[in-house]
Each structure stands twice: as structure tokens, then as C-alpha cells.
Amino acid sequence: MRYILFLILFSLSVSVPAQQNFQDSMAVGRITLQKNNMWFLAAWAGANIMQGSISASNTTGNDHYFHQMNAYWNTVNLAIAGLGLYAAKKQLAGIHTADRNRTGQQKIEKILLLNTGLDAAYIMTGLYLHERGTRLNRDQPVGYGNSLMLQGGFLLVFDIIQYAENRKNGKALEKGSTGWQMGTTANGVGLAYRF
């Protein structure tokens, strides 16, 4: 009887580090993906801020407002990228339990889906401003509208690609989270079978 109990405890102790390694690798993969995407967004924002600032001072009419809005818009994108990089650094230092990993994966996927809806709204707002500016023969709404269509279009493609990349990670996490798992709970240590 002691021999069977020893084998059961030994097999559980052997499988826990493998499961933890899986959780760590999935979390690190998701966070690294987030970090790389935030660096890409920061690069896009930096290029738009520089180009927009230079071109806005050298153009007139709706082109002036187009470049001006690109610079303004990407100041916000740069701040978002900075916050995303800070959050990624903080997450990498954390502990990656199965529940925390699942929650983090679901959260990033929901945020990206919400962002795609917002991106479509930016494009529609840009179309509206462009149409209104054209109808009223005003340069500012035309320029701002063109900028919103460009920036919204970029963000829409960017967020769809991010979602697809993160969904692959989510599917691997779902596939790897089946079977017996041991982890900490509020009351101590628990053993669960996921199928």
C-alpha cells in the first residue's frame, strides 16, 4: 500500500513541473507577443509623429490638417504602446498559474475584439468628417477625416493580426490544459481533472 501511495505522489510531483513549464511558456509567449506588438505600434507612432509634425508645418489646406491629426493621433498611440510595454514587463515578472494564464489569454483576446470594433468606428468617423468637409468646402474636416481613415485602417489590420496571433496561443493553451492538474487554491493545494 505504501508503495502505491509513493508511486501516486511521485507521479504527481513529476507532472507538476511539466505543467508549470507549460504554463510559463504559454504566458511568456503571450507576453512576448504583446511586447513585440507594442514595439511595432511605438515605431508606427514615432514615424507618424515625426512625419506629421514636419509635413504639417510645410503644407496647407487639408494636407496640413491630415498631417497634424496624424501627429496628434499617434501621440496617443505612443502612450498606449508605452503602457503596454510597462504592463508586459510587469507580467513577465509574475507567477503564471493555470487560472491566471487562462484569464490573461481571455482578457487580451477580448480587448483585441473590442479594439477592432473601435477601429471600425474610427474609419466611419473619418468617412463622415471627410464627407462633411467636402460638402461644406472646409479643409479641416477633410484632412482630419482622411487621417482617421488611415489610422483606423492601420489599427484595424494591426488588431486583427494581433487577435489571430493570440488566438493561436489561446488554442494551444486550451489544448494543453486537459488532463490532471495540480495547483494552489485559496485553501491550499488542489488536484483537478480538466477535459
Grid coordinates belonging to 139: 479643409
State the residue range of the domain holding 44: 25-178
Is 193 exposed, middle or buried, given 0-12, 13-18 or 19+ CB atoms closer than 10 A? exposed
In a domain, 120, yes or no: yes
What confidence score (pLDDT) does residue 64 get?
98
> For 57-66, what is the mean pLDDT?
97
In a domain, 68, yes or no: yes
Residue 181 has pLDDT above 60, yes or no: no
Angle between helices 139-176 and 98-136 (to 10 degrees): 160
In a domain, 162, yes or no: yes
Mean pLDDT of the chain: 85
What confidence score (pLDDT) does residue 176 get?
65
Q: For residues 128 and 149, what is the distance between their CA atoms, to the nearest angstrom?
A: 10
pLDDT in tens, 151-160: 999 999 999 9
In a domain, 12, yes or no: no
pLDDT in tens, 3-39: 554 444 444 444 434 444 555 778 888 999 999 999 9
What confidence score (pLDDT) does residue 14 get?
42
Q: What's the number of domains the chain is made of?
A: 1
